[in-house]
Structure 1
Amino acid sequence: MSVKETCLICFEDNPIARMFSIGTCHHKYCLSCMKHHVEVQLQSRIVAQCPHKDCKCEVNTETCKKFLSPELADIMIERIKESSIPVTEKVYCTFPRCSALMSKQEVLEHTKTSFVSEGGRKCMKCHQYFCINCRVPWHYDMSCYDYQRSETYSRSEDQLVKSLAMKKLWRQCSKCKHMVELDSGCYHIICRCGHQFCYTCGAEWKNKRATCSCPLWDEHHIIRP
């Protein structure tokens, strides 16, 4: 008779081979529940942690590959890297088809023998040149000072904000144009200007009721890990 263990999420008894151990904390859950848990956290753009209450242990990336698709495993690696880099050190490739995440230090180290000028650096992934100071494709015909005083820079700043909003899944208030980021709580947003809308699709709330059919909440945002 094979030895079985109980998963503390679904409470089903599973063979040991179908159980997943969370790294250093050693909490165990079945592969099916862990797959769903990790996928939900990745969709919420956060690093997957142990589902056990009050446990902050991160899920090991390598061991997750046994139940995650290669694409999701790559996303998980990206999330871990993103969380490990301080906000002030994060650098994203300015070319939309790449958008690779790098730390400022590793970019400077990687390009110390191949930079165009003080600001012109080469992306570590797509190898195209961008300006690490202006955060745009490299402006070959002018200095950073001149570029930042130009109308082109003003327009590119607007595009940068829009690109970042898409990457971070921010929602823009249709009334005051303020960007909103959901940290926790339901998807019913009350902007600082008083306008109410759905965080998922942006539809307006009228008379304290949604005008769309989007879910009101996701458990992850209601009960924070």
Structure 2
Amino acid sequence: MSKFTKLCRESSRHSSGSSSFVCGICADRRPSKKSFAIKGCTHSYCSDCVRQYVTCKIEDRITRIYCPVSGCHGSLKPEHCRSILPSKVYDKWGDALCEAMISARDKFYCPFKDCSALLVKGTDYRDIFESECPMCHRLFCAKCKVPWHSEITCREFQKLHKDEREREDIMLMQLAKKKKWARCSKCKFYVERTEGCLAMRCRCGHTFCYNCGAYVSDHYCTNCKH
């Protein structure tokens, strides 16, 4: 028999007929008035440990909380624990339970990391692109689920690599388009042609056509015939 199991049994035995009991979690002897019984089983622990136990579970985004004893079917419910939980933890538990009831395909979160508010898709969400978060009031793209990218279309955005989707990256792309810069097809570095033929040699050593981006081995591009 493990030490934890012994403590749990001793906890249950003392809590029923003694003025004190041994908590099966912290192993301290506590007055019986500090005992908190788990619903659906015979285990009891001190209210401080139960409070900390529940708080840790909620922080880990676990909404179904069971008795700490492995295999035990006793459970903890928000209404049962309300008297020992801080209001912030109790409210967070309730919000998490509500969120868990929403299908994963029907919910997403505000793309701004300092907000991350839960958002629910409407029936016409497929036709909506530019949207405003009701919590932080900033614009985002409902289709791409990122901060609003006014400079490029959704199709252009989704073609970008994940490390090229920041606002600064998009602004650089727009500048390159305006200046008619070409991009190395190997290292993705932008280059500007000032004179000479269309065969460009990038700093990475790759040679490509400034007009179409195809690889060239000499000064003539067989792809675009320049």
TM norm structure 1:
0.47
The structure having more radius of gyration, on CA atoms, is: 2
User: Taking CA–CA contacts closer than 8 Å with sequence separation of 6 or more, which of the two structures ends up with the larger relative contact order?
Assistant: 1
TM-score w.r.t. length of structure 2: 0.47
